[in-house]
Amino acid sequence: MMKKTCLGFFVAILLCITSSTAYAAAIQIKMDGVTIASDVLPEIKYKRIMVPLRAISENLGANVEWSNSAVILSKNDMNVIISLNSSTAVKNGEKMPLDVKPYMKNNCMFVPLRFIAETFECNVNYSKLAVTVDTKPFLIDGVQVKTTQLEYHMIMGGVVQQVYGNAYNEAIHHIFVKNKGEKVEAPTNYSWNLNLDIPGSYYKNGQYEFLDQEGNRLVRFDVYSLIRSFPSELLTGYPETLIHDAYKDEWFLFRDKAIQSIEHIIGTAARNGFLTTISNTVV
């Protein structure tokens, strides 16, 4: 009788643990209606919802960097420092209290869900085993942006894609505005074609259009790179990268690192389900 009782008690404990583990594993992150793909999922600790910092922050358009035992979040003019096992974070020099101290698990820092809401000024809720994050609409001249449409060409064919998510659209637009340099004259030769045989020619390596809810174009930036298939002495004085504000028909210097930042954002969007391919004619 005693053995049966102990066995029954052990089975009950096992079922409880299994149920608890399944419950924790079932919590998903949904951002602007998209379920985020992540190997590290939210969990409940000290009666608080704890979320993986990188998985959410990157999808909110923030850059995430480690510095010793702290993480630095940067987005536009915002800078936030979060330290392991500290009950406060620092946002632009001001302290922010945390419900639960950040901790590491599976090589990922976990922070309270409330912290995400306060830091990024978004609506965050937890219900039905899902952490739901709704970000602020992104506006250009008072009009809400629905998507950033990217077009690029290969030797044979081209690709048109759209990036969704308010934070992604805002981050991409911010990079264009922030990294737009001195105004310059339009180059003599520029095209989608890589085979221009005149020194100082530019190749259009990307076209970015910000579309409203009805698909109307609000702004378009074209990025051009100097074709370097000529002796270096023939390219002296030609900038490496230019940006064309197509709607204003104005040309500006642009930074190479800005292109890399945009590509990083688009790559993150693709991994997390915020990028859709509209057409692909590459042979």
Q: How far apart are CA 91 and CA 253, in angstroms?
A: 32
At residue 56, the pLDDT reads 86
Residues 6+ apart with CB under 8 A from 27: 41, 42, 43, 44, 49, 126, 129, 130, 131
Six-digit token pair at 111?
A: 């922070």
Report the C-alpha dihedral over residues 77, 165, 210, 151, rounded to 10 degrees.
110
At residue 14, the pLDDT reads 32
Judged by DSSP in three states, 168 sits in helix
Judged by DSSP in three states, 27 sits in coil
For 193, phi then psi, to 5°, come to: -85, 130
Residues 6+ apart with CB under 8 A from 4: none
Indicate the pTM of the whole model.
0.82
List the beta bridge partners of residue 209: 149, 220
Strand order in the sheet with 63-67: 63-67, 70-75, 78-83, 88-91, 94-97
The architecture that CATH gives domain 28-136 is: 2-Layer Sandwich (3.30)
At residue 239, the pLDDT reads 94
Nearest to 216 by CA among 165, 266, 147, 162: 147
At residue 2, the pLDDT reads 41
Q: How far apart are CA 36 and CA 109, in angstroms?
A: 17
The ranges assigned to domains in the chain are: 28-136, 140-280
pLDDT digits (tens, 9 = 90+) for 32-46: 888 887 788 888 888
Task: State the pairing for strand pair 43-45/275-280.
Answer: unpaired
At residue 3, the pLDDT reads 43
Nearest to 102 by CA among 70, 138, 126, 131: 70
Which pairs with CB-CB distance under 8 Å and at least 24 residues apart come from 157-161? Answer: 157/280, 157/281, 157/282, 157/283, 158/192, 158/279, 158/281, 158/282, 159/277, 159/279, 159/280, 159/281, 159/282, 160/277, 160/278, 160/279, 160/280, 161/266, 161/275, 161/276, 161/277, 161/278
Diameter over CA atoms, the chain = 94
Low-confidence ranges of the chain (pLDDT < 70): 1-25, 195
List the beta bridge partners of residue 30: 35, 132
Check residue 170 and report its DSSP letter.
H
At residue 166, the pLDDT reads 94
Decide: 110 and 52 in contact? Cβ < 8 Å.
yes
Decide: 99 and 17 in contact? Cβ < 8 Å.
no
Task: State the pairing for strand pair 143-153/202-212.
Answer: antiparallel
